[in-house]
A and B are shown apart, each in its own frame.
Chain A
């Protein structure tokens, strides 16, 4: 049995990591909520943003957190044009088409990264990567605390954008009633692309938060995608508060199950939650049909 401090520390750790998962899931759930597509290129796009952050640090001497300021608009643009010029036209809105196009894109992106950067693992060394913030008996990792804070703020901002801005209203209108929205003069293709762009931009922030304590190689994003799917399902497909709470919850569950079951079998805990939610409450915690 573990001491209460260890258990508490594990849970807090899980919470902090879960916040970054939530950020990844946020983009995924937004895209699902509006476009009704499961974006299989999400993991590959996360990898792209991590590489961009790495390039910022390696070649321009930026701090990873400063790099976020540059990578976010870049990822926004990438997301916009991917949806507008590739996914939209190529899939023509059919489910199978979108599935294949996003899968195909993830193959293209992953292997472009492999061709460009080879398979070496890239890391960023910062002073604060090994920093800890002592909180009572706990040693909180500095990058993780920053990750938690930034993720929550980002989720809040996203919520504000969706509820308080014109584009946000247009996005919600399209999500609810695509045909109606287009009848009142909303440019649906533009809104789709904007949604995809915002979802992709979230990945830029997640990439910046991960890089100080993680590494990137062409396949890194895949490690986060399944857990992001789980969060999206748990929180309710398309729900932003759902993704945030779902992310924190999954982080805690992962920490607890890996403490008691070991990290490998601990993964089963996540999938079991995934299956149970799908079977008994497919709308998730916050989803509405």
Chain B
């Protein structure tokens, strides 16, 4: 079943890629690119918040670090885009390890962990907004240069394909995690951390590994965001909007599942486009509809969309057995 899921997700990505190659209108391609960036962000969130049960409200801290590293390294230091990408991921992971070290040392979890991540992200946002190093409030631009070495393409389909590859790799990473001992420990401490500790799991270490991995993946999304829009400022990179997108996508799709973040990101952003189109002339009506659908989702699919379908399937097979 898990394997089937992975294959389904990969097939979906391949279809997206083929669609892009055949030819998509610019607005659709643009939407797909954004969907995949949010998917990556949410996949990062999912490693910690989904599998580990440590819901962060501050993944913007990692996303923004990746985005800023990507931009600053390229513009101020003239470093190659790909090298900057690797550095961005590493820096994001480092920030994750730092926040994790402090919070897990203090034994924070639940709402407390959520709030402290939020506070760290806000501190970074305020700093990035006032330092000259990060361009201050004016934000920063990445110079327009096309070519593989610059990770910018005159034909954006190539960028999209690279994004799809990263999303696929993140899927494999999640799949590996699900099957590894590390993943088992992580899930164990989500279910009952005291029991896990009693069984000899080094929960501090497991949490540290999880947040580092999670932060690195989200930082990757931040790097690619910067590279796609070529402009960031503190509110874009470290703003709470991205923290919320990440957790929304993962939880709506199905937290702690392989394909939850992908389903969530695609549905939420798709839904946003759809509601936008029938709001008539009234500003804000589309987001009202969006919010209501979200609440209904939670009410009728408490384990995310993926959980909803898994339930249906279980019920159907139970019915089949009964018959």
Q: Is the CB of B112 within 8 A of A278?
A: yes
Question: Nearest-CB distance from B134 to chain A (Å)?
Answer: 14
At the interface, yes or no: B151 with Cβ under 8 Å from chain A? no
Interface string of A78-118 (1 = CB under 8 A from B): 00000000100111101111011101111110111111001
- Total interface residues on A, using CB and 8 Å? 47
Q: Is the CB of A97 within 8 A of B302?
A: yes
Q: What residue in chain A is nearest B295 (Cβ atoms)? A: A104
At the interface, yes or no: B290 with Cβ under 8 Å from chain A? yes
- Total interface residues on B, using CB and 8 Å? 45
At the interface, yes or no: A218 with Cβ under 8 Å from chain B? yes
A113-B107 Cα distance, complex, nearest whole Å = 40
Residues 244-299 (chain B) with a chain A CB within 8 angstroms: 244, 247-248, 251-252, 255, 282-288, 290-292, 294-299
Q: Is the CB of A115 within 8 A of B284?
A: yes
Q: Is the CB of A105 within 8 A of B295?
A: yes
Interface string of A268-279 (1 = CB under 8 A from B): 100110110011
Q: What residue in chain A is nearest B282 (Cβ atoms)? A: A115
Contacts of A89 in B (CB 8 A): 299
Question: Nearest-CB distance from A34 to chain B (Å)?
Answer: 14
At the interface, yes or no: B119 with Cβ under 8 Å from chain A? yes
Question: Nearest-CB distance from B307 to chain A (Å)?
Answer: 11
At the interface, yes or no: B233 with Cβ under 8 Å from chain A? no
Beyond the given A101-B298, A267-B126, could you list 6 further A-B residue pairs with CB under 8 A, ordered by the A residue number?
A: A36-B111, A100-B252, A108-B295, A115-B282, A230-B119, A274-B115
Give the A-binding residues of B (Cβ under 8 A).
55, 102-103, 105-108, 110-112, 114-116, 118-120, 122-123, 126-127, 129-130, 244, 247-248, 251-252, 255, 282-288, 290-292, 294-299, 302
Give the B-binding residues of A (Cβ under 8 A).
32, 36, 38, 86, 89-92, 94-97, 99-101, 103-108, 110-115, 118-119, 218, 226, 229-230, 233, 237, 264-265, 267-268, 271-272, 274-275, 278-280, 282
